[in-house]
Amino acid sequence: MSSEELRQIVRNLADTFNDPKVRESSYFDYYDDSLTIHGFPLNLPTNKEGLKQFIYLLWKAFPDIKITFEDIIIEGNKVVTRYYLTGTHNGAFMDLQSTGKKFKVNGMTEFSFSNAKIIERWNLVDMISLREQLTS
């Protein structure tokens, strides 16, 4: 796949993540069934099912969550994104009950692709800042 094709897939992935009307029906279609994930809570499986569990938790806790890419860097079959997440805490997340507070946190994700599907995902999100914003 070309760099521009990979860039468009990642942009479409974000658009799907951000749209409550379509995300549950199509967000996970971007991921191969052989997916391996890294950087998620340790109690989750490191596969597509673990990703689903975490993303559904996010959507439930932060129904208006949005991702905005600031950088998309592509080399070979890898795409690295630097982004920020915004939303409102309207449901339980980890050990925190709903606070109604808005947040904005930074993150980075590396995606590896094969045949236009994501086969590996590394995640790093500023969870300390998220907790501080939700509890202050």
pLDDT at 42: 85
pTM of the model: 0.94
- Residue-number span of the structural domain to which 92 is assigned: 3-135
**What is the distance between the alpha carbons of residues 20 and 24, in angstroms, rounded to a whole number?**
7
CATH code of residue 44: 3.10.450.50
Counting the structural domains of the chain, the total is 1
Average pLDDT along the chain: 97
pLDDT digits (tens, 9 = 90+) for 4-47: 999 999 999 999 999 999 999 999 999 999 999 999 888 999 99
Percent over 70 (pLDDT), the chain? 100
